[in-house]
Amino acid sequence: MAKAKTDWGFLRGALGVFAICVLISAGLIAGSLYFRASMESDFKRHQAAFQTASRRYLSVDEEERMIREHYPQFVEWYNRGVLGRENRLNWLEVIRYAGQHIRMPELRYQIESQAPYSPPFPVQAAGYNIHASIMKLEMGLLHEYDLASMLDELNRRAAGLYSVDRCLLTRTQKQIGSDASQKNINAACELRWLTINTPGEGIVLK
Amino acid sequence: MTSSLRSRFDFVDRRAVYVTGDKVAVYHWRNGALTDSLVFDIGGERQSAFEWQEQGGVAENFTVGSGASETALGEFDHYLKTVPNTPVYMLVDVVEEEYRQDTMPHVIGADRRALIERKLTRLIRGTPYHHAVVQGRETEGRRDDRVLLTALTNPDLLAPLIDLFGRNKVPLAGIYSLPILSGQLLPKLGAKDANVLLVTMHGASGLRQTFFRDQELKVSRLAKMPRLGTVPYAAHVLGELDKVRRYLNSLRLIARDAPLSVYILSSGDLLADLKEQCRDSDQLRYVLTDIADLGRRLGISGALTTPYSDALFAQLLLQNRPKNQYATRGDTSYYGLYRSRAALMGIAGLMLLSSSVWSGFQFIEGVSLRQQALDASQKAKFYEARYEIARQHLPTTPVPPESIARAVELVDTFGQYKATPLDLLLEVSKALQGFDTVQIDRIDWLASTNPEASVQGGKDVAPQDPGLVQQLGNLIAPRAQQAAANPSPAAYRYYHIAEIGGRIDPFTGDFRAALDTVNRLAESLRVRTGMQQVRVLALPLDISSSAKLQGSADEETKAQEAKFSLRVVMGVGNGQG
């Protein structure tokens, strides 16, 4: 007897059932996985919210201590222009006042645009943005104490925190003159004005 | 017990097709037991091969077609088309079956298969239905294997049925020899004698006498039987036994005086008649067995009432499902597909079940997580409410309290690094006291965390040229030399760095005195608080060997200048500045 040809049609129904079962199984697995993953995500979100809320509740006393200890200083730094927005108008007023008060023979200034600042030393920014504005002062000094007076005026009256990055003092003549209207020393200094603020709207005290 | 257990979990329906020279009987197996049967009498009307009592009633026979005009094969074809297409086990009980005893070298595996194939090809021709059973080994010589070769010598007998199976896509599991299958009855009968003749009567074929030596089939004979009741059956059976005894002697399968145990299966009146007429002798020992009893032992649920053993063999075949004996690969192609289909369905069911169970666990876990999420949400709301109540007596702040502390710390940190040149100017001013001839023309200052930073904005300053230090000789104090060559490691928060340019004025032309003044000024600076490094960058007169030095001995030295420059590094912070 000749060898019978394999009748694959015999398996058609079983293959159909198999395919349907594969689809159903895949659907079941995918659906249950999606459901479980979704529930797990919800659970983690709510659990995190719960942990945050409980931690906050338990830290109310600590928050009270922090506010009591640090908030006055915080407000002071805000009022002095270190926290929040920089106050350039105040700087200009102080510089003009200082120049007149000290009777500085010559005073020129230039303030560059504010830019993000990464200090060369380690700091914990803790979510705050640190910005700096470079102020260039060119001063004609009668003597070096005029520079000290200028910086002192800035310390006392200007809103903000600055640090002098560099300074070049050069004698203008071989012998120091005594004419108060004539400069004896040229001083070119770069001051970095620092401002600390939160992202977005920034710190606003009401 | 085993049979009962097996049948309890046997849910695969199947059929035994019992083929004789002129009849085809079908036995159905459902839910682990024989249920009903029908017989197709080739050229005649269909009739029931036997009936047995089942739970007090008569099992229903299958009915096919109507009218005597249909041929038996046509009815069988109609039957195959009508009933569920369950696997078929074909049991052949025909006269045209040949038995050959042979030996062959003892080999195993593929060599044995090849050797058997060659023997079958050489000894059995004209039929694809052949089978070989290795029955043991010779006790002498090279101890060859003893082989029983069997064949169905009239393949045309099966061809129409095989053709019908193929056309109806019937899964044929195998074709089996009734004599070979009958060997499975011996343990049930307790037939352990050396020479056993098993005698069974079959409604479809006749009287089957099968000879076993040491429980190994040697030869079998099928004799026609007259219709039941037309002649004294017991005498007829005993007459046939005489013939087969002579046949065995002629074949030298048994010695003339060797004892022979004759096992006869029968029932009812015939069994009683046989018991009366069978007389044991030295050469013959009769063992008469009631088919009904044997049927019960085999697990047949109904009572067998006829003397025929057809149902016993159908039970044996369908219950044990031995390995195929005669069917070719082409004959069983649909059975292979059937098994593949069953495997596919099984895998599909298993997959569906597994995925359902797994998904169920995932779903349960998901529901559990949802419940936990709800709990967490409620607890979060509870604590938030409690927090708001507790927070009411605290002032409103623009940032969270912990951020307030961070901001203050941040400002403090920047405050610690706040620099002005005034500190350094103050120290320089103090150092200059007593140096009336020193005039400072230029101070280039910067604040940096790097003590080697260049005030010119270029590369960082390299260590001082050791040649210059050497050339200065004793003009520069040893301490200053050491400090210049080995700057202290950074131990300060930040540094004031300045390059101070000046001159000796008035200068009398005494370079030695000018160099000494610069040297002393450097020493005076070094002792100031926090002074980290004082380095001479330029002297009033470059007396190093690498520099070009020229002038006139009689020129006015007053007109010359004695300029110098120093690099000063002063540390601030870390409790030291």
Closest residue in A to B85 (Cα) is: A10
CA distance B335 to B174: 9
B363 and A125 in contact by Cβ < 8 A? no
Nearest CA of chain A to the CA of B506: how many Å? 11
Q: Among partner residues A15, A38, A128, which is closest to B407 by beta-carbon distance?
A: A128
**Tens of pLDDT along A139-179?**
999 888 899 999 999 999 999 999 999 999 999 887 777 77
The Cα A57–Cα B30 span in angstroms is: 72
Residues of A in contact with B170 (CB under 8 A): none
Q: How far is CA B344 from CA A17, B85, B189, B231, in A?
A: 8, 17, 41, 55
Model confidence, pTM: 0.59
Instruction: Look at residue B444 and tell me if it is in a domain.
Output: yes
Report whether pLDDT(B554) > 80.
no
Hey, is the C-beta of B405 within 8 angstroms of any chain A C-beta? yes
Q: Taking CB atoms and an 8 Å limit, are A204 and B397 in contact across chains?
A: no
CB contact under 8 A, B394 and A63: yes
State how far the Cα of B503 lies from the Cα of B561, in Å rounded to an integer. Answer: 7
Of B386, B400, B399, nearest to A63 by C-alpha is: B400
Question: What is the mean pLDDT of the segment spanning B392-415?
Answer: 89
Strand, helix or coil at B450? Answer: coil
Distance CA B308, CA B300 (A): 14
Do residues B536 and B467 make contact, with C-beta atoms less than 8 angstroms apart?
A: no
Instruction: Mark yes or no for CB contact A128/B449 under 8 Å.
Output: no
The pLDDT assigned to B463 comes to 52
3-state secondary structure at position A115:
strand
Q: From CA B564, how far away is CA B435, in angstroms rounded?
A: 14
Residues B34-69 pLDDT 10s: 888 888 876 444 444 334 333 333 333 333 333 333
Q: How far apart are CA B166 and CA B482, in angstroms?
A: 110
The pLDDT of residue B231: 82
Domain assignment present for B225: no
Inter-chain CB proximity B330 and A164 less than 8 Å: no
**What is the overall mean pLDDT for chain A?**
90
Provide the pLDDT for residue B574. Answer: 67
What is the per-residue pLDDT for B55? 35
B377 touches A at CB < 8 Å: yes
In the block, tokens 């200094």 appear at: A189
Interface of B with A in 357-376 (CB under 8 A): 358-360, 362-363, 365-367, 369-370, 372-374, 376
pLDDT over 80 (residue B541): no
Q: Can you tell me the distance from the alpha carbon of A166 to that of B498, in angstroms, rounded to the nearest whole number?
A: 9
Average pLDDT over residues B332-359: 93
Mutate which: B345, B402, B420, B500, vs A, most A CBs within 10 A:
B420
**CB-based contact, B104 to chain A, within 8 Å:** no
Q: Which of A12-16, B86-90, B396-400, B403-407 has the highest mean pLDDT?
A: B86-90
Chain A's closest residue to B129, CA to CA, is A1
The verdict on a CB contact (< 8 Å) between A170 and B441 is: yes
Q: How far is CA A176 from the centre of its chain?
A: 46
Whether A40 and B366 lie within 8 Å, measured CB to CB: yes
Q: Please give the interface size between A and B, counted as residue pairs whose CB atoms are below 8 Å apart.
A: 277
pLDDT tens, position by position, B271-318: 999 999 998 988 899 999 999 999 998 888 777 888 899 999 999 999
Contact of A63 with B394, CB cutoff 8 Å: yes
Band the pLDDT of B457: cuts 50, 70, 90: low
B557 pLDDT exceeds 70? no
CA distance B78 to B303: 30
Nearest CA in chain A to B387: A57
Q: For residue B451, is the peptide bond before it cis, meaning its omega torsion is within 30 degrees of 0? A: no
The widest CA-to-CA distance across chain B, in whole angstroms, is: 172
Residues of chain A neighbouring B402 (CB-CB closer than 8 A): 63, 66
Give the nearest partner residue to A73 out of B355, B384, B408, using CB atoms.
B408
The pLDDT of residue B477 is 44
* Interchain CB distance below 8 Å, A39 and B369: yes
CB contact under 8 A, A53 and B384: yes
Per-residue pLDDT, B507: 85
Helical H segments across B278-400, by residue range = 291-298, 310-320, 333-391
Question: For residue B557, is it within any domain?
Answer: yes
Q: Is B573 in CB contact (< 8 Å) with chain A? A: no
Backbone φ/ψ region at A103: left (φ over 0), alpha (ψ -120 to 50), beta: left
pLDDT value of residue B550: 67
Beta carbons of A49 and B349 less than 8 Å apart: no
Q: What is the pLDDT of residue B203?
A: 85
The tally of domains found in chain B comes to 1
Q: Which of A80-89, A179-188, B152-161, B564-573 has the lowest mean pLDDT?
A: A179-188
Whether pLDDT at B222 is above 90: yes
Alpha helices per DSSP H over chain A: 12-58, 60-79, 88-102, 145-157
CB atoms near residue A85 (< 10 Å)? 15
**pLDDT tens-place string over residues B240-267:** 998 998 899 888 888 888 899 999 999 9
Token pair listed for B437:
């001839």
Q: Is B340 within 8 Å of chain A by CB?
A: yes
- Indicate whether B1 pLDDT > 60: no
**Are the beta carbons of B166 and A18 separated by less than 8 Å?**
no
Q: How confident is the model at residue B94 (pLDDT cuts 50, 70, 90)?
A: very high
Pick B341's closest partner by Cβ from A11, A36, A52.
A11
User: What dihedral do alpha carbons B128, B133, B138, B139 form, nearest 10°?
Assistant: -170
CB contact under 8 A, A63 and B166: no
| Residue owning tokens 């024989």 | B34
Q: What is the mean pLDDT of residues B389-408?
A: 86
How close does chain B come to A91, measured CA to CA in Å?
17
pLDDT by residue (tens digit) across B170-196? 999 999 999 999 999 999 999 999 999
| CB nearest to B370's CB, from A2, A33, A42 | A42
Strand partners, B33: B30
Q: What is the mean pLDDT of residues B331-351?
A: 93
pLDDT, chain B, mean: 84
**CB spacing of A29 vs B439 below 8 angstroms:** no
Facing residue for B404 by CB, picked from A32, A66, A147 = A66
Task: Dig out the tokens for B50 from the structure.
Answer: 């036997």
Residue B263 forms contact with A (CB below 8 Å): no
Residue B520 lies in a domain: yes
Do the domain assignments include residue B464? yes
Decide: B330 and B343 in contact? Cβ < 8 Å. no
What pLDDT is stored for residue B8 in this prediction? Answer: 56
* Angle, alpha carbons B73-B79-B85 (nearest 5°): 125
Distance CA A103, CA A105 (A): 6
Q: Is the pLDDT of residue B396 over 80?
A: yes
Chain A residue numbers with beta carbons less than 8 Å from the beta carbon of B572 are none
Q: Is B353 touching A (CB cutoff 8 A)?
A: no
> From the candidates B338, B364, B370, which should be mutated to test the interface with A, based on the most A CB atoms within 10 A?
B370
Does residue B276 form part of some domain?
A: no
Specify the range with the lowest mean pLDDT, choosing from B35-44, B227-236, B425-434.
B35-44
Q: Which residues of B touch A21 (CB under 8 A)?
A: 348-349, 351-352
Residues of A within 8 A of B158 (CB-CB) are: none
| Residue B409 touches chain A, beta carbons under 8 Å | yes
Q: Cβ contact (<8 Å) for A56 and B328?
A: no
Closest-CA distance, B439 to chain A, in angstroms, reads: 9
Q: Is B411's CB within 8 Å of A33's CB?
A: no
Nearest residue of A to residue B455 by CA position?
Answer: A166
Cβ–Cβ of B169/A7 closer than 8 Å? yes
Exposure string of B188-214, with b = 16+ CB inside 10 Å and e = fewer, is: ebebebebbbbbbbbbbbbbbbbbbbe
Q: Which of B526, B345, B331, B355 is closest to B428 using CA atoms?
A: B526
Q: Which amino acid, one-letter code, is at B225? A: M
Of all residues in chain B, the percent with pLDDT exceeding 90 is 54
In a domain, B480, yes or no: yes
* Segments forming the whole domain that contains residue B532: 422-572
Output the pLDDT for position B464. Answer: 52
Among the partner-chain residues B399, B440, B494, the one whose CB lies closest to the CB of A203 is B399
Place B549 in a pLDDT band, splitting at 50, 70 and 90.
Answer: low
pLDDT tier, B430 (very low <50, low <70, confident <90, very high otherwise): very high
Residue A181 has pLDDT above 90, yes or no: no
Q: In this structure, is residue B452 part of a structural domain?
A: yes
